[in-house]
Amino acid sequence: MKQFNVPVGYRSPLITAVKQYRKQQDKLKKDDTPTLLDMGDLQIYLARHFGFCYGVEHAIEIAFTTIQSNPGKRIFLLSEMIHNPQVNADLLAMGVQFMQDTYGKQIIPFEEIQSDDIVIIPAFGTTLAIEALLESKGIATAKYNTTCPFVEKVWNRSEQIAEKGYSIVIHGKPKHEETRATFSHAAAVTPSIVINDMHETSELAKYITGEYTSDGFYEQFKGRYSEGFDITKDLIRFGVVNQTTQLATDTQAISDYLKSVMIKKYHLTADTIDAHFADTRDTLCYATNDNQTAVTGMLQTDADLAIIIGGYNSSNTSHLVELCEEKLPSYFIDTPERIISKSEMVNCNWRTKELNTVTHFLPDKSPVKILITSGASCPDAVVEGVIRKLASLYQVEEQVDTLIASF
């Protein structure tokens, strides 16, 4: 896989050593057990896979190269390039201006953009309408497009099944940048609708089967369907794709459920299922899948708590927290500074995004066993920073350097 030029400040000697060692020992990625960092009273278990993915490194390289190659030019990002506070803060410090917030609220009007400005499209992609607007102003969108290749894979898959007469059901968070972009691309070629979770899937199924009359659909799913969408005929034949950072198990469950609804409604068999339900295969990105699988493997370890590191508006990171908290106390932080002392830390509720101070999060025992992972947009340097902060609380920070040399 291609290697990208990522600023050295985002790298970590410890994490690089661990990842290289695991790659050499497990080239086929069959071993999902975590890596033990044994520091005596403190034992940290690092997930098999975590941190920067292909799409994030691809986006960072394009963005930083663009800035370095265009001194004096005004450079804009449509929104946060990735959901990581450190990276976005660095871009702002280098003079990049964000045009929209995470939810699409305009910060800088498009009217202020001039043809000699640079506008970078973030890793999540953008809508066809915004792309067309930028191009009408003479902006070279293709030159500074950091859209993740795995997001584009979902768009391509949607187009492929649309050509065969299928509508599209998108499993995604309706307000997320990627979902908005995917919906735009899908809706341009076929009737499309966004569903957020299994509850909404169940509700949608009742309109498909006729249990609910069509009248209520347009209010219940307002803002989620393409223009001219007809619930009485546009879900007779469809396929399911997803926001690439959703929980793989959730997407699979939604797809399986809707497939079963269609089988029952139309009395389908294995030979006739494709008459009403498209085989979209898994459109989850490889990194999301690897990170979630690694967390499942990590959770087999007998541990006291888990710490998950990443941006608070990062969808893929939130899902890692969701997986961990099913098994043991789990804490969501974005920087090492959230850990204040052995008895105090600032935790983020992954559902509400509210911050709250947690006391006595580290048990009074020896050794303390902590599971650690991070989201796909979290720099390895931040993970090492968290490990060093924990090590300092147990007066074993010098052992981190010893561990680097041991791999």
Identify the pLDDT of residue 245: 86
- Counting other chains too, the contacts that 112-116 makes at CB distance below 8 Å and 24 or more residues apart are 113/76, 113/137, 113/139, 114/74, 115/139, 116/73
All structural domains of the chain: 8-53+286-406 (3.40.1010.20), 54-136 (3.40.50.11270), 165-275 (no CATH)
Per-residue pLDDT at 255: 94
Nearest to 47 by CA among 73, 83, 22: 22
What's the rounded Cα separation, in Å, for the pair 132 and 127? 9
Give the pLDDT of residue 288: 83
| CA–CA dist 329, 18 (Å, integer) | 25
> 27 is written with which tokens?
């080239």
Prediction pTM value: 0.89
Instruction: Report the distance separating Cα 328 and Cα 330, nearest Å.
Output: 6
Residue 1: predicted pLDDT: 61
- Catalytic sites, residue numbers: 178
The dihedral through the CA atoms of 20, 24, 28, 33 has a sign that is: negative
The answer to whether the beta carbons of residues 188 and 158 sit under 8 Å apart is: no
Beta partners for residue 332, in sequence order: 308
Q: What is the pLDDT of residue 279?
A: 85
Which residues make Cβ contacts (< 8 Å) with residue 51, sequence separation at least 6? 15, 374, 375, 376, 378, 379, 380, 383
Q: Is 35 helix (H, G, I), strand (E, B) or coil?
A: strand
Q: What is the pLDDT along the chain (407 residues), one digit of tens a residue?
A: 677 888 889 999 999 999 999 999 999 889 999 999 999 999 999 999 999 988 899 999 999 999 999 999 999 999 988 889 999 999 999 999 999 998 889 999 999 999 999 999 999 999 999 999 999 999 999 999 999 999 999 999 999 999 999 999 999 999 999 999 999 999 999 999 999 999 999 999 999 999 999 999 999 999 999 999 999 999 999 999 999 988 888 999 999 999 999 999 999 999 999 999 998 876 767 788 899 999 999 999 999 999 999 999 999 999 999 999 999 999 999 999 999 999 999 999 999 999 999 999 999 999 999 999 999 999 999 999 999 999 999 999 999 999 999 99
End-to-end CA gap in the chain = 23
**In Å, how far from its chain's centre is CA 190?**
25
